[in-house]
Amino acid sequence: MKLSYIDPARGENNQFWRYLLTFFAILWFSLGAGVILAVVAIAVEGSPDITTYSNVTMLLLTMLPFPFALLALWGGLKLLHKRGLMSLLHPGGGFSWAKVLLSGAIWFVLAGASDLVLWLIDPANYSFNFNPAAFFPFLLLTLVLVPVQTSTEELIIRGYLTQWMGRFSQKIWLPLIVPAVVFMALHGLNPEVGAYGMLLTLPLYLGIGLLLGWVTLKSGGLEMALGLHAANNLYATLLVTFPNTALPSPALFNIKVYDPLLALVQLVIVMVLYLGILYAWKRSWLAQEEEVIL
């Protein structure tokens, strides 16, 4: 019988209190690490005003709590649920790096193509800002830390939370929608949300959260979500950035005037093209039927 992505949450050692305690550990491990890092950053930068911090300091301050959250998740799985990370990565076994890399490559190319089209329409809105002294050290740190950050988010939200939600429904919609809404809410305090308004910025996080959840449930594993999320954040950090972004960076290109409505339309188009390419080229990767998923 084909293994469902939800199946690991249906066996023994999956009572409510085990999930609650694991989420509590994730929260306190990441918050504790964040507080310690904030104290270190204030000492190094000589100020509590994060707007004055260097890009590298902000990168470390933002990314380093995630390994602690991942450690808490692993501990909860191992000690409370008696299972390992593979039960989140691909419960059926056979984790595929090809899916990770191809999914990321498709998303990265589509994101670049969409910005290329916008640049052709309005080239004055893009500026080239290559500064080797700032870019290359930031690049090395980003290539290590961003995949850790995105993988941790995927393991917790699209993995652990999705499987938990699957215990309460015989349909795909609950484990698809609830993690996407949580993902959106967790980004609600990002500076771009305050700068450009919730109505146009939060739907971006909801949309990409739904896409990540869909490919996870339809493929029976996290591989494509891992690749897509990492590619998206690496692109936004290293290639094209914009004012008031959550993570300031010495990206190669800067959007001078950010239009959140245009960004939302851009995301929808890229999402449709991404799914279209996958279904046309790698349909077998998304072959799980709804009755098998749940």
Alpha-carbon distances of 220 from 10, 93, 95, 106, 210, rounded to whole Å: 15, 10, 10, 19, 15
Which among 96, 97, 112 is positioned nearest to 273, based on CA atoms? 112
149 and 226 Cβ atoms separated by less than 8 Å: no
pLDDT of residue 2: 58
Which among 36, 22, 23, 33 is positioned nearest to 66, based on CA atoms? 33
Any idea which of 42-56, 98-112, 194-208, 265-279 has the lowest mean pLDDT? 42-56
Residue 197 DSSP label: -
pLDDT in tens, 95-124: 999 999 999 999 999 999 999 999 999 999
Mean pLDDT across 3-10: 87
Distance CA 220, CA 93 (A): 10
What are the residue ranges spanned by the domains of the chain?
7-293
Mean pLDDT across 147-176: 94
- State the chain's mean pLDDT as an integer: 93
Residues present in the chain in total: 294
Distance CA 223, CA 208 (A): 15
pLDDT of residue 49: 87
pLDDT exceeds cutoff 80 at 1: no
Enumerate the β-bridge partners of residue 193.
Answer: none
